[in-house]
Structure 1
C-alpha cells in the first residue's frame, strides 16, 4: 500500500541553544511538538491557540502546468528556517509539526483528497493549520478541507479566499487540475453547492495573466489589486479594499503564492518574476487579518529550494509566519 503521509521529522528542527538560558526555550526548535496524524491521532481537548504545520510535498500540479520542478522539497526547507526563529511573545508552547502529505507518481487527486481530510481534522481539533508547499494546487485541497469542516460544524458560515499571487490561477482544467486551476475548481464547487465565491487576489501582474483570465475574473466578480498598487504608499486604499472584503465573509482562508514577490526577495519559486510586491506590505495585511479574528487557515505555496539563493525564499516564508503568530 502506498503511504501518502509521513509523520513529523524532529531532525528538521535544529538551531541555536543558548547556554545562558538553559532552562528556558528561546527558539522555535526548542518548543515545537510533533504529531502523527495517522497513529497517535489528535486529542479531543478544548484548548485554543494551537498551530499545526502540515507539509504538502507535491509538485505534480506544477509539472502539469509546465513549471519548474522542485516544489516537493518546499515544506522541509521552510521547516528548517522556522526552527531558527526566536520566541518573542509568551512561551509559544502550542506549535505542532503535523507531518507531510506526499504525492507518488501522478496521483495528485489522491494527494489532494488526503490533504483535505487532514485540514478538516485539524480544524475540528481547534488548530490553525498552516500548510507548507508544494504547488499551488494545494489551494484546491485546502479549500475542500475548510469547506468540509464548516459544513460539519458551522454550516451557515461563509469563506473568503485572500490570495497573494501574481496569477489568478483561474485556468480551466482541460483533462486534469494543476497549479494554475485551483480557484477555477473552487468556483465550480461553490456553484455546485450553491455557495458564494468570495475571492480577493492581491499582487496580480498583467504580464503573468492572459486576457481570458482577466475576463473570467470580471465575469465571476473576482476582486483583485495589481502589484503596482500593493505597496505601503497606497496602503490606505489597499486597506479599505481588504476591510470591505472582510465585512462580507465569516472566515478567511489566506493563501500566499511566493511568486507574488519580486525575485529579489523570492528567487526560489516555480514561476519567478523580476517584478512583484514588497514583503512589508504583506506584513501589514497579516496584522489586519489577525485583528479581524476571522483567519481560519493559511498556506504558503510554490517554494522551490532548487533555485533558492541563500535560502532567501524559505526564510521569507518563515519570517511571514513569525509575524503572523507573534
Structure 2
C-alpha cells in the first residue's frame, strides 16, 4: 500500500488567509521523508488547484455561501484524486487547507467505498447550512452536506447523491456549536460525542464505543481531523482555536486506534494556519500525529500479512 499525499491549499471555505499555506509548510518540514522513514512508499499527488477569487466577489454565486463556485471546483478535483487513490488500493492522506475540503474527501472516498463510515474530529459541528450559518463560511458545512443536509450544490458535489449515511457518522470533540447545529444534532441518527461527553466517559471509552459502533456496520472509515479539536492552549495555529479541547495525547490515541483497527482508508489533517502558529507548535503536533498514526497503520498492515 502506497501513501498518496494530496495537498489542498484552500482557505476560501474559512474566508481567512493562512490555511492555504499549510501544504507547502508540511512539505518544507519534510513530511514526505518522514513518511518514507516509516517504511511506506509515498506518491506525492501535488496540490489540488484552487481557483483565484476576489474578496469583493465572495457572494457572487450565492448570498449566504462565500466563494461557492471556487470551493466546489477545488473539492470536485479533490474528490477525483481521492477516488483514484482508493480505487488503486492506496491510502489517501490529505493535507489542508480549511475543513471545507471534507466535502471532496468524503465524496471521493464514498465513490470508491460505497458503505463508508466517517469519523469527524473537530471543535465545531461543521453541520451548518446556508440557512443556519452565522458566517456563510462553507468550512462550517461539509459534514451536513455529506449526509444530505444543506444547499444542493454542496450536497450534490462530484455526484448527485448522499455521500455518507447519517448513521455512519461519528463526531468527536464538539464544543463550539451553533444553535442550528445543536438542533440538527438533537435530531440526528449519527453519533455526536461532545467534549463534555468525552470528559465524562474518558477517551478510552469513547474510542471503544466508536470502534464497536463501526464494527460490522461499514466497509471502511474516512477520518477527518481538524487541529482545532485540540485545546487551543496546545495548538494555537488554527483558524478558529477553541479552549477546553482534546489533549495532544487524546488526539493521538483516537487516530492511532483507528489506524490499528484496519478500517481507516483515508485521512484529512486540516486547518493548520502557519500565519497564526507560534514557534511551529501546531505544525510539530500535526507532524507528530501523522507520524504516529502511520506507524500504527504500518504495524497493522504487517500484522495482517503475517496472520
The TM-score with structure 1 as length reference comes to: 0.74
Structure with the bigger percentage of helix: 2
The alpha-carbon distance between structure 1 residues 131 and 87, as it changes in their structure 2 partners (threshold 3 A), is closer
After alignment, is 49-58 or 96-105 more displaced? Answer: 96-105
After alignment, is 311-320 or 127-136 more displaced? Answer: 311-320
The alpha-carbon distance between structure 1 residues 295 and 310, as it changes in their structure 2 partners (threshold 3 A), is same
The answer to whether residue 160 in structure 2 is matched with residue 160 in structure 1 is no
The structural deviation recorded for 1:291 is 2.6
The structural deviation recorded for 1:233 is 7.8
Alignment-derived partner of residue 206 in structure 2: 238
Cα distance in structure 1, aligned partners of 2:163 and 2:249: 37
Q: Secondary structure of the equivalent of 1:163?
A: strand
The alpha-carbon distance between structure 1 residues 232 and 256, as it changes in their structure 2 partners (threshold 3 A), is farther
Q: Secondary structure of the equivalent of 1:52?
A: strand
The equivalences for 1:104-253 within 5 A come to 104-106=51-53, 107-150=70-113, 157-174=114-131, 178-188=138-148, 189=155, 192-193=161-162, 196-197=165-166, 198-205=168-175, 208-230=176-198, 234-247=202-215, 248-253=217-222
Cα distance in structure 1, aligned partners of 2:52 and 2:35: 38
CA contact (8 A) 1:231 1:281 kept: no
The structural deviation recorded for 1:93 is 4.5
Cα distance in structure 2, aligned partners of 1:195 and 1:101: 23
Cα distance in structure 2, aligned partners of 1:80 and 1:218: 43
Give runs of ≥4 in structure 1 deviating > 6 Å.
none
CA contact (8 A) 1:257 1:302 kept: yes
The equivalences for 1:25-64 within 5 A come to 49-63=1-15
Q: Secondary structure of the equivalent of 1:305?
A: coil
Q: Provide structure 2 residue ranges, at least 5 long, that are not aligned to the other structure.
A: 54-69, 149-154, 296-307
The alpha-carbon distance between structure 1 residues 256 and 195, as it changes in their structure 2 partners (threshold 3 A), is closer
Alignment-derived partner of residue 153 in structure 1: none
Alignment-derived partner of residue 304 in structure 1: 273
Q: Secondary structure of the equivalent of 1:59?
A: coil
The C-alpha deviation readout for 1:128-165, integer Å capped at 9, x for no partner, is 01000001000001111112223xxxxxx411110110
After alignment, is 187-196 or 73-82 more displaced? Answer: 187-196
The alpha-carbon distance between structure 1 residues 126 and 230, as it changes in their structure 2 partners (threshold 3 A), is same
Q: Number of aligned pairs?
A: 264
The alpha-carbon distance between structure 1 residues 194 and 297, as it changes in their structure 2 partners (threshold 3 A), is closer
CA contact (8 A) 1:231 1:277 kept: no
Alignment-derived partner of residue 224 in structure 2: 255
CA contact (8 A) 1:231 1:278 kept: no
Q: Which has the larger radius of gyration?
A: 1
Cα distance in structure 2, aligned partners of 1:193 and 1:178: 18
Cα distance in structure 1, aligned partners of 2:17 and 2:163: 36
The answer to whether residue 25 in structure 2 is matched with residue 77 in structure 1 is yes
Cα distance in structure 2, aligned partners of 1:195 and 1:276: 26
Cα distance in structure 2, aligned partners of 1:84 and 1:117: 25
The TM-score with structure 2 as length reference comes to: 0.79
CA contact (8 A) 2:6 2:94 kept: yes
The structural deviation recorded for 1:322 is 0.3
The alpha-carbon distance between structure 1 residues 308 and 177, as it changes in their structure 2 partners (threshold 3 A), is closer
